[in-house]
Amino acid sequence: MIQKQADGAGFLNNMLIFSDFHHSSLYTSLQMLFEVRLNHQLFRPIGEEWFNKGYWKLAEPYKNNPDTIMQYLGIRDHYKPMDGTKPLNDIKEYNEYYLIKSFPYDHKALTLKQFKDMKFDLIIASYQPHIEPYLKLIQTYQPQAKFCHQQGNEWVVDFNKVKNLLASVLPYNIPNDVNACWYSQEFDLDIFKPEYSEKKIIRSFVNTLATQSLFHRDWIDFLELEKYLPEYKFESYGAGCREGVINEQKELAKLMRESKYALHLKNQGDGWGHVIFNFFSCGKPVIYRASQYKNRLASKLLIHRETGIDLDQVGITGAVNIIRNQSLSEYSKMCTNITSLFKKYVDFDKEQKDIEVFLSKLK
């Protein structure tokens, strides 16, 4: 049986935490926070029973596609998703739980039966449709556990149900009886770091960008910029994208560091935005549309002609002129500006202390 460890002060410093898993970078950030920084243990679901019993909703937008269910929950070695994205349940070993191979940290995963046999301190729903199922899980199997919603998108939260909120969005007004903490989703600053590159490369890492209709503005913008800047190499990475899927963070970071500009267009909206904050951390000027980042955390770091190029202001031809005529000193200044702003707004060490206070007040 997995045991908690009491510290010298006589209280538990090793919480057992269960969270859903729908976004690899988000889950890694939760591991970096709860396991690496705070010495707790984090678990996620595995096994199709989670879906069959109604406690897993990620496949609903895809009409409960069996391939999606198998990718996230299936207990099958060497399973390869049909869309080319990363296999998520490559089993490393099994004892009291499934240990799943993952970079940079392996995942501890539980079947529903294993979940029932343990006692958790905290249960987190990071996917909004999991709020009600997870509250039901607590009521039925884990009455001693606290519930927390991790919010990474600007959706409306029902505060009649959510009393603990861990949010990586722009702060907004919340009821007085809600325990809330505003924070950034951590990633590895040892690989997502500033690095000067002389390569004339502009890269996008937005999923499905290249599978969108030729009449879709984001893909048109990509193709137009590529057309008018033939001296630059343009690449589009992600699910369904022209250059394919990047599954490892080390490779993603390397591709970002050697790019000259980031091209980040998301007409469908963005959440906290791991990709754009990764680019900020690498000190790369971003080609963007400010309208897509209204009321988003990233908007604080997007300043036209200082940290990037706003297509809403100058259009394609204006952006082409800026890129083509920009001096080395002007470009270097933009890189310095974005690095400075990233350090101003993102401080994982400081936020750890805020989160410790938040955890001490769980309701």
pLDDT tens over the chain, length 363 residues: 454 543 433 334 789 999 999 999 999 999 999 999 999 999 999 999 999 999 999 999 888 999 899 999 999 766 777 766 677 888 998 889 999 999 899 999 999 999 999 999 999 999 999 999 999 999 999 999 999 999 999 899 999 999 999 999 999 999 999 999 999 999 999 999 999 988 999 999 998 887 766 668 999 999 999 999 999 999 999 988 999 988 889 999 999 999 999 999 998 778 889 999 999 999 999 999 999 999 899 999 999 999 999 999 999 999 999 999 999 999 999 999 999 999 999 999 999 999 999 999 999
Task: Tell me the C-alpha to C-alpha distance, in Å, between residue 67 and each of 80, 88, 158.
Answer: 9, 12, 31
By C-alpha distance, which of 192, 125, 194 is closest to 337? Answer: 194
Residue 76: the pLDDT is 77
Long-range contacts of 279-282 (CB under 8 A, 24+ apart): 280/338, 280/339, 280/341, 280/342, 280/346, 281/187, 281/189, 281/192, 281/193, 281/194, 281/339, 281/342, 281/346, 282/192, 282/193, 282/194, 282/195, 282/253, 282/256, 282/257
Q: What is the rounded distance in angstroms from the CA atom of residue 150 to the CA atom of residue 168?
A: 8
What is the residue type of 105?
Answer: Y
Q: What is the rounded distance in angstroms from the CA atom of residue 33 to the CA atom of residue 354?
A: 12
Peptide bond into 81 cis (omega under 30): no
Q: What is the rounded distance in angstroms from the CA atom of residue 118 to the CA atom of residue 284?
A: 45
Q: What is the rounded distance in angstroms from the CA atom of residue 80 to the CA atom of residue 162?
A: 36
201-345 topology per CATH: Rossmann fold (3.40.50)
The CATH 3.40.50.2000 domain(s) of the chain lie at 201-345
Contact criterion met (CB below 8 Å) for 166 and 185: no
Could you tell me whether strands 91-94 and 98-100 are parallel, antiparallel, or unpaired per DSSP bridges? antiparallel
Place of tokens 């989670």: 50
Residue 179 belongs to what H/E stretch? strand 179-182
